[in-house]
Amino acid sequence: MAKEIKFSLLYRDMWQSSGKYVPTVEQLTEVAPAIIEMGCFARVETNGGGFEQINLLFGENPNTAVRKWTKPFHEAGIQTHMLERGLNGIRMTPVPADVRRLMFQVKKKQGTDIARSFDGLNDPRNLENSIRFAREAGMISQAALSLTVSPVHTVEYYTSLADTLIEMGADEICVKDMAGVGRPASIGMIIKNIRERHPQIPVQYHGHAGPGFQMASILEAARAGAEYIDVGMEPLSWGTGHADVLAVQSMLKDAGFNVPEINMQAYMKVRSLTQKFMDDFLGYYIDPKNRVMNSLLIGPGLPGGMMGSLMADLENNLASLNKWKAKNGQPELTQDDLLIKLFDEVTYVWPKVGYPPLVTPYSQYVKNLALMNVLQLEKGKERWSMIADNIWDMILGKSGKLPGEPSTGIVELAKQQGREFYTGNPQDLYPDQLDEFRAEMQKKNWDLGQDDEELFELAMHPEQYRAYKSGDAKRSFEADLAKRKAEKAAQSAPAVPVDAAVNGNGFQPKRLVVTIDNEEYVVNISYPDGESNGTQTAGASASAVQTDMSPSVQKPVVPVPSSSGEVKEVISPLEGKFFLTKDSSETPLKVGDTVKKDDIVGYIESMKTYNAVAAEENGVVTEICFANGDSVDEDDILIKMQS
C-alpha cells in the first residue's frame, strides 16, 4: 500500500514570508471556508510568531482573530497549529516562565491544537518548558529542529537533538528548514534517522522555496518517512515563500505516494481571495523582489520568513545611507549593491558570533549586525561599533548556548566593555511577571479577558498592547497605509506639465493637511528637480513628487532652561523609532536631568532591535526633541544638553 502524505497549509506564514502584514480577521474568516473546500489539508497554520503583534499594529484584537480563524477548521476536523519561539514565546525577546505557561493554556482554549516550538539556538533547555507547558495545556507538542548548514550543524547534530527533545516528551518533530538552505540529501538522512530510532513519532517537514532546493528536499523528506509536508499556494507560493501545493501534490503522486486530491474550483477561489487581499492593501507591504527565487540566498542562509522585513529595512537604510553619501560627495548605492554587501557581510559575521541558526530572532540579529557593519564601513568607520543589547545577550549566552564559539575578537570586545558571559539556564534570568501585569490591568480597569487572554496579550506584547488600547497603533497604521497609497497614486499618475503643477502665482505647495477617516494627516511634499518657487524643470511629472505623511499632532513643547553653557547635541546614529526606555524597569530621561559621558539617554528601535544611544559628553538635559515612539532619521538631534 502506498505511503500516505498529508499537507499543512501555511496561510499565515505565506504572508509573513512575502511582506510585513497578514490579513485582518475579516479577511481570514472570508477565506477559511474556501481553504476547507479545497479538501486537501489535514492541518492549517493559524497563529504564532509575529502574527499577534501584527494584529495589534492594525489596532485589531489578536485574541478575537485567533478564535474566529481557528473555529471553522475545528468544525471541519482540520488540525490547527501555531509557531512559538521557546524562551521567546511569540515575540523577539525572552519571556518569563509564568507568561509562557499561560500562553499555551490560552491558545489551547482559543482553538489551537498543535504547538510547534523551536529555539533559535537549538538549546534544549529553552524547549523543555515549551514541551511541558504544551502537554499540560492539552496541546500536541511538536518540537522543531532549526535547520542550517555550517561546520557544526551536521546530520549527527540534528539526530542527537531530536533524541533529546523526544526524551523530554515531544509528541512530534518538525524539521524546520526556515531558510530553505538545507541540502536535500542531508534532510533525508536526518528524517530517516529519526524514523528508525523513534518509529512512533510523526515528522513534519517545513521549508522555504527561495534558494531553490525545496522540491528536491520535499521529495527526500517524503521518501525518508515524513508524514506531513508544509505547503503554500498561489499567488504567494515560491519566491521567499513555500512550494505550491499543486506542484508538491503532483510530484509526490508521480513518486508513488498516496496524496489527497485538490478541489480546483476551491483552489482558484482561495487564490482569487488572496489576490483581492493584496489589492486591498496588503500588497503595499510586499516587495516585488520577495516574489522571485534567488540562489544568492544559499550563501548567507537567511530565512524566507524575514525577507519581507529585510527588504523594508534595506529600503529605509539605503535612503539614509545615500543621503549621507550625497552630503559627503560620494556616489550612491543601489538596493542591489547594498543587498550583495549585506549577504557578504552575513557570511563574514555569522561564524564570528558562534553560528547561531539563522531563524527568528537570531537571523534578524545576525542580519542587523551585518547591516550595521556595512553602514559603518561605507562611512569609513570600523566594524562592530554598533551592537544592540539583545545581540550582546545572544553572544554572551543569556539567550542560550551558541552552537559554536564567538571569535577571540568578539570575546575581547566584550571584556573591554565590561560584559560577562553567562552559562546558566537562560530562563532563570527572567523572573515571573504576571502579577505585575495583572495589577496594571486592574489599575487601568482593563478586562482580563476570556480565559485571561487579554492579560496574556499585555504580558507578551506590553508596548504593542498599550498602543492598541490607546488607539495609537491603529492611527499609525492608517497613516502609513495612506502614505503608501498616495505614493503609489503619484507614481502611476500621468505626466503633468510644470505649469499645471504650479499655482498661478508660481508657488508649489510643500505642506498640506488632508483628512482620512476623520483623522488629519500632514503631507509634506518635496520636488526633487527644483524648488517650490516655480523653478522645477520642464517635463517633470507628478510621479517625481515625493510625499511624507504623518499624523497632524503637534509635539509637546519642552521648556528649555536658560543657561549660558555650551549647547551639546546627542545625534541619532541610525534611522528608526526613538524610545527613552526599552522596558518598564528603566526610568525615562527628562528635562533637567544630569547626564554623564557614556550614560544611556535613549534607544533607536530599528530592524526589531533596540540600539542604545549614549551621551558623548557630560551635561544637563535642556530639550528632548522627539516624543516616545517618534520616527527619526540618521543624524537627527535627539537630545540637547548644556554644560
State pLDDT tens for residues 233-251.
999 999 889 999 999 999 9
- So what's the pLDDT on residue 541? 33
Name the band, by pLDDT with cuts 50, 70 and 90, for residue 566: confident
pLDDT, tens only, 148-182: 998 999 999 999 999 999 999 999 999 999 889 89
- So what's the pLDDT on residue 346? 87
Residue with cell 564570528: 352
Residue 163 burial (CB count, 10 A): 14
Domains parsed from the chain with CATH numbers? 295-429 (no CATH), 434-470 (no CATH), 473-551 (no CATH), 567-642 (2.40.50.100)
Question: Strands across the sheet with 567-571, in order?
Answer: 567-571, 637-642, 619-624, 594-595
**Does position 411 have pLDDT exceeding 50, yes or no?**
yes
pLDDT, tens only, 294-325: 777 776 676 655 555 666 677 777 888 888 88
Mean pLDDT of 335-350: 87
- So what's the pLDDT on residue 307? 59
**Does position 542 have pLDDT exceeding 70, yes or no?**
no
Cβ atoms 209, 237 nearer than 8 A: yes
Tell me the β-bridge partners of 145: 175
Residue 589 burial (CB count, 10 A): 20
Q: What contacts 138, CB < 8 A, 6 or more positions away?
A: 108
Residue type, 329: G
Q: Where does residue 1 rank: exposed (0-12), middle (13-18), buried (19+ CB within 10 A)?
A: exposed
**Does position 441 have pLDDT exceeding 90, yes or no?**
yes
- So what's the pLDDT on residue 643? 78
pLDDT, tens only, 204-214: 999 999 889 99
Q: What contacts 12, CB < 8 A, 6 or more positions away?
A: 22, 45, 46, 47, 48, 49, 51
Name the band, by pLDDT with cuts 50, 70 and 90, for residue 580: confident
Question: 86-90, 484-488, 496-500: which has the highest mean pLDDT?
Answer: 86-90
- So what's the pLDDT on residue 607? 63
Name the band, by pLDDT with cuts 50, 70 and 90, for residue 629: confident
- So what's the pLDDT on residue 395? 94
Residue 475 burial (CB count, 10 A): 17
Closest CA to 321 of 371, 367, 268: 371
Q: What percent of the chain has pLDDT over 90?
A: 53
Cβ atoms 524, 511 nearer than 8 A: yes
pLDDT, tens only, 63-79: 999 999 999 999 999 99
**Does position 543 have pLDDT exceeding 70, yes or no?**
no
**Does position 585 have pLDDT exceeding 80, yes or no?**
no
Q: Could you tell me where the DSSP H helices lie in 472-514?
A: 472-492, 498-501
Cβ atoms 8, 242 nearer than 8 A: no
- So what's the pLDDT on residue 4? 97
- So what's the pLDDT on residue 408? 94
Name the band, by pLDDT with cuts 50, 70 and 90, for residue 494: low
Decide: helix, strand or coil at residue 519. Answer: strand
Residue 206 burial (CB count, 10 A): 27
Mean pLDDT of 34-54: 92
* Total count of residues recorded for the chain: 643
**Does position 501 have pLDDT exceeding 50, yes or no?**
no
In angstroms, rounded to a whole number, what is the distance separating the alpha carbons of residues 46 and 53? Answer: 14
Mean residue pLDDT of the chain comes to: 86
- So what's the pLDDT on residue 572? 87
pLDDT, tens only, 367-389: 888 888 988 888 888 899 888 88
Mean pLDDT of 390-403: 92
Name the band, by pLDDT with cuts 50, 70 and 90, for residue 328: confident
**Which segment of 233-237, 354-358, 407-411, 451-455 scores lowest on mean pLDDT?**
354-358
Give 522-549 as a 3 state SS string: EEEEECCCCCCCCCCCCCCCHHHCEEEE
pLDDT, tens only, 344-353: 888 899 999 9
Name the band, by pLDDT with cuts 50, 70 and 90, for residue 564: low
Mean pLDDT of 318-341: 86
Query: What is the value of pTM for the model shown?
Result: 0.79
**Does position 536 have pLDDT exceeding 60, yes or no?**
no
